[in-house]
A = this chain, B = another copy of it.
Amino acid sequence: MRVLVTGSSGFLGRHVADHLSGLVGYEVAGYDLRPMHSDRYLSTVGDLCDLEAVVGAVCDADVVVHFGGIGDVDVATEHPSLAAAANVVGTMNVALAAQQAAARVVYASTWEVYGTPRYDPVDEQHLCDPGHVYGATKLGGEQMLSALHQSGELPTAILRLGTAYGPGMRPNAVFSRFADAARAGAPITVHGSGRQWRQFTHTSDVVRAVQLAIESDLDELTVNVVTDEVVTIRELAEIVASRYGVPVEFGPERHGDPPSSIISSERAASLLGWRAQVAFQEGLAALLRETDAAAEPLTAVRGR
């Protein structure tokens, strides 16, 4: 199985490329705008908006795992035009290149495409009305894939991923902010009441869903890939704070934070046999242990 991973220098793309390249029967290549060295696979430096370059990178692949684009909500908010280009045009280019190569696409979408929940739990039939740039551009990417899937041949698996955590995560994630502050001995600041919640999904669970999607023979698939476990921001803050002996403080609510939803991944369970396996307490403890051992900010450490 020849797999091209786009966004292979990014947080989740690196985990996926690392994992797949260790499996028997997989030949992995990377594609990213930012160069990154790995001993396990070759990467091409290229722009998703450059159709010719994408076609060249995809031409030998059986599957394209598409994590590339603007994956950082804050960057998308600050640079909406760039986010639209990278996430929508970039995904169209991946879709076109995959169609040309008769390859399957596994697309990393997000639970944030749903926007404010109309009902609980949110399944894949729920209206998509993200209401912010990041979600809108990721949804736009889904629609480019769907258009090519419906108007031609293009086997497509769309994974609407939960908020992921694990080694190498972004410095602006709530997770990283809390851990980095606490390790520096500073108090942890929770914005708002802290009663807002998330379904933090461990990188290893995301990676496993990607592998299941690659190995599935379904022609079309859209599934939530989100752990069932719900954690409030306050709980997260308290776990981290008690580990490092720092206080938790409460600050004003932040405008634009995504709403608290309950996302159901029953469909991923029935169609892919996927269920999250990493319990949050364990995943968090392991992550903090690794970080402590490395004596580096959380965001700079890579898991093996």
Contact = CB atoms under 8 A, between A and B. Distances in A.
Interface in A134-157: 135-137, 139-140, 143-144, 146-148, 150-151
Contacts of A92: 80-81, 84
Contacts of A51: 81
Interface in A67-118: 77, 80-81, 84-85, 88-89, 92-93, 95-96
Given A77-B151, A131-B150, A151-B131, A84 B136 contact: no
Contacts of A80: 92, 95-96, 144, 147-148
Nearest to A85: B89
A49 to B, nearest CB: 8
A140 B81 contact: no
A133 B146 contact: no
Contacts of A19: none
A256 interface: yes
A131 B92 CA distance: 13
B84 A144 contact: yes
A23 to B, nearest CB: 32
Given A81-B89, A81-B93, A144 B151 contact: no
A237 to B, nearest CB: 25
A268 to B, nearest CB: 21
20 contacts: A77-B151, A80-B92, A80-B96, A81-B93, A81-B96, A84-B92, A85-B85, A85-B89, A88-B140, A89-B89, A129-B146, A130-B143, A131-B146, A131-B150, A133-B147, A136-B143, A136-B146, A136-B147, A137-B144, A139-B143
